[in-house]
Chains A and B, each alone.
Chain A
């Protein structure tokens, strides 16, 4: 399968008064053409920093890409200048942000915000861009698009703003769409509409999607593969079925056990994960999950485990319990 994106050994730090926060500490994953990959994890695990680094949207300084490669269609984005990135952002890679209220420009009409990319990247005339903007609003299901195109974000409801944002990000038919918590700020009935829309567009346009979320239900509904992050690292990855039905890392197992399910009886007690994630100003030497892990061993404190294949090449976990030697394999 063709890989559209490959992130290799990515390290991102932020220099603060308190010291260097190692937000992303050696992340590896890839996205195949046409698939939807979820990145899940708690706040501060580095999932948003990873996605913003792909777009080169982190402010530098204080941010710094310390190491690693981001290969997009074979090209290393880390080496690209800001100018070169401008012709990739919005054209080849689109992004949907969490909060549609703050990520749209309140002083520009929705139409102008969609047209911006079309005029810049596709050399469209103003008139042609406007016609396309109306079409796009119609595709994302906004009623009366020819009237709505001239309105400002404050005249749109939350769900409609998110639709408008999707229209902007899809304007130039990007090959990769990064959606950072696209439905977190929305109500569930509106979330269902937006997820339906994204699935539909993915099918029609063959776009690859990176979906960043903490909602495991959304992952089960939308994605083909899952990357689980913890304390700035990938600790497990696999297909949705592998992750949901056969999780290997104690953190992934804990995450799945700590959410109540609508379809199950309420008599089963919830099992929380005790404690809090480590401080990335002073990241732990060994496995970042040691302090919260019920299966922690001495080796976990001292040496950080690598991602190892478990049950086949698509499923990998970074845990000493899954190490080939611990499994009696060699």
Chain B
């Protein structure tokens, strides 16, 4: 798809050493433990990782749905981490979210029109006939029938519901949208519909996306750059094609090699890096590098100190002792 070139110096968002800890009894769960990255205006930044790696928490903390424990979230030059809820309200218009589960994220007792209209009401964007007109415009924008605005969520299929969620996010004309696993609850043939819609809308409205998913093939397809998370930390970040053709971090290498490719010939001849064991608990992560307990290339220094987050090649960041 022909996309506008992205200005690499125009940061819409800058995340600096962001941490989000949860207190569980006497234990501290370090869901996000010091991640730093930027999101350029107009790009799609993919975030991948396995369950519990902190990718969703990172997305929610950036939108201040959770208060960050430490670190800065700089959105168009303003640090959001210090703002109060009332100070955040006008900024919420600029940043929206699309959720994973299209069944749980729409209020079953509200009509589709009211679900989308609620956002307009809260921010005082339209009322009366204008409101109805705007809702119908949004429904057509996501290729739903505008006449269906009086229907309830249960009357729609999963893919259609996800379109309603997208229309709701777009109602306030945001600049930035966090898409948290927006397609993983959908059937394969429907996933492509929703992804294509997200791409068209980005082109039309100049949106910036943070696209969180565990399906690496889909993330590769939609993202300009991709960040890989493991146990609360970001381990590698690079341009999409580069990350997939030349992964540097042993975890990224294992993750990519674990994905089966829908081609029997390739599968028959493929050597796979199979990681041993499970992800350790984020309540009690290993010392030094988080990944060392499963890493096929672990060295003595990996236990001693956590690796630095370094730009080893232009625009290719990695946190691994192999590249120090």
A binding-site residues for B, Cβ under 8 Å: 42-43, 157-160, 187-193, 195-196, 214-221, 240-241, 244-245, 254-256, 258-263, 265-266, 269-274, 276
Q: How many Å from the CB of B314 to the closest CB on chain A?
A: 20
- Name the one of B50, B159, B244, B261 contacting A189, with C-beta atoms under 8 angstroms: B50
Inside 8 A of A193's CB, which chain B residues have their CB? 274-275
> How many Å lie between the Cα of A266 and that of B243 in the bound state?
13
> How many Å lie between the Cα of A320 and that of B169 in the bound state?
43
> How many Å lie between the Cα of A256 and that of B261 in the bound state?
11
Q: How many Å from the CB of A178 to the closest CB on chain B?
A: 20
Q: Which of B190-205 contact A (CB under 8 A)?
A: 190-193, 195-196
- Pair A263/B263 contact, Cβ less than 8 Å: yes
- Name the one of B189, B192, B255 contacting A188, with C-beta atoms under 8 angstroms: B255
Q: How many Å from the CB of B178 to the closest CB on chain A?
A: 21
Q: Which of B269-286 contact A (CB under 8 A)?
A: 272, 274-275, 278-279
- Pair A262/B157 contact, Cβ less than 8 Å: no
- Pair A221/B260 contact, Cβ less than 8 Å: yes
Residue interface bits B159-202, CB-to-A below 8 A is 1, else 0: 10000000000000000000000000001111111011000000
Give the number of chain B interface residues (Cβ < 8 Å). Answer: 42
Say if the beta carbon of B240 comes within 8 Å of chain A: yes
Q: Which of B254, B264, B279 has the most CB of A within 10 A?
A: B264
Residue interface bits B214-237, CB-to-A below 8 A is 1, else 0: 101110110000000000000000
B binding-site residues for A, Cβ under 8 Å: 1, 50-51, 157, 159, 187-193, 195-196, 214, 216-218, 220-221, 240-241, 244, 254-267, 272, 274-275, 278-279
Q: Which of B189, B193, B218, B274 has the most CB of A within 10 A?
A: B189
- Pair A259/B274 contact, Cβ less than 8 Å: no
Q: A42-B187, A259-B188, A274-B193 are in contact. Are A191 and B258 (CB under 8 A)?
A: yes
Inside 8 A of B244's CB, which chain A residues have their CB? 262
- Pair B258/A189 contact, Cβ less than 8 Å: yes
What 3 pairs between A and B have smallest CB-CB spacing? A217-B260, A272-B192, A260-B221
Q: How many Å from the CB of B53 to the closest CB on chain A?
A: 9
- Name the one of B1, B255, B259, B272 contacting A269, with C-beta atoms under 8 angstroms: B1
Q: A160-B278, A190-B278, A262-B244 are in contact. Are A255 and B188 (CB under 8 A)?
A: yes
Q: 12 extra interchain contacts, Cβ-Cβ under 8 A, other than A192-B258, A260-B217, A262-B259?
A: A188-B50, A190-B50, A193-B275, A215-B260, A216-B262, A217-B260, A220-B263, A221-B267, A244-B263, A259-B262, A260-B218, A265-B241
- Pair B266/A270 contact, Cβ less than 8 Å: no
> How many Å lie between the Cα of A323 and that of B288 in the bound state?
64
Inside 8 A of A42's CB, which chain B residues have their CB? 187-189
- Pair B189/A254 contact, Cβ less than 8 Å: yes
- Pair A260/B263 contact, Cβ less than 8 Å: no
Inside 8 A of A245's CB, which chain B residues have their CB? 264-265
Q: How many Å from the CB of A206 to the closest CB on chain B?
A: 20
> How many Å lie between the Cα of A236 and that of B32 in the bound state?
46
- Pair B187/A218 contact, Cβ less than 8 Å: no
- Pair B190/A272 contact, Cβ less than 8 Å: yes
Q: How many Å from the CB of A144 to the closest CB on chain B?
A: 12
Q: Which of A217, A221, A255 has the most CB of B within 10 A?
A: A221
Inside 8 A of B217's CB, which chain A residues have their CB? 217, 259-262
- Pair A276/B267 contact, Cβ less than 8 Å: no
Look across to chain B and name the residue whose beta carbon is closest to the beta carbon of A268. B221
- Pair B188/A217 contact, Cβ less than 8 Å: no
- Pair A269/B220 contact, Cβ less than 8 Å: no
- Pair B278/A43 contact, Cβ less than 8 Å: no
> How many Å lie between the Cα of A193 and that of B278 in the bound state?
10
- Pair A261/B214 contact, Cβ less than 8 Å: no
- Name the one of A189, A195, A219, A258 contacting B189, with C-beta atoms under 8 angstroms: A258
- Pair A262/B256 contact, Cβ less than 8 Å: yes
Q: A254-B189, A269-B196 are in contact. Are A188 and B258 (CB under 8 A)?
A: yes
Inside 8 A of A220's CB, which chain B residues have their CB? 260-264, 266-267
- Pair A218/B260 contact, Cβ less than 8 Å: yes
Look across to chain A and name the residue whose beta carbon is closest to the beta carbon of B221. A260
Q: A195-B260, A263-B261, A276-B159 are in contact. Are A258 and B188 (CB under 8 A)?
A: yes
> How many Å lie between the Cα of A241 and that of B159 in the bound state?
31
- Pair A188/B263 contact, Cβ less than 8 Å: no
Look across to chain B and name the residue whose beta carbon is closest to the beta carbon of A257. B192
- Pair B267/A159 contact, Cβ less than 8 Å: no
> How many Å lie between the Cα of A300 and that of B211 in the bound state?
40
- Name the one of B193, B196, B220 contacting A262, with C-beta atoms under 8 angstroms: B220
Inside 8 A of B195's CB, which chain A residues have their CB? 270
- Name the one of B191, B216, B272 contacting A192, with C-beta atoms under 8 angstroms: B272
- Name the one of A160, A262, A274 contacting B261, with C-beta atoms under 8 angstroms: A262
Task: List 13 interface pairs A-B (beta carbons < 8 Å), by A numbering.
Answer: A42-B187, A188-B50, A188-B214, A192-B275, A196-B274, A214-B188, A221-B260, A240-B264, A241-B264, A259-B192, A262-B256, A266-B241, A270-B195
> How many Å lie between the Cα of A240 and that of B264 in the bound state?
7
- Name the one of A195, A214, A241, A270 contacting B196, with C-beta atoms under 8 angstroms: A270
- Pair A262/B216 contact, Cβ less than 8 Å: yes
Inside 8 A of A215's CB, which chain B residues have their CB? 260
> How many Å lie between the Cα of A191 and that of B188 in the bound state?
18
Q: Which of A159, A192, A256, A273 has the most CB of B within 10 A?
A: A192
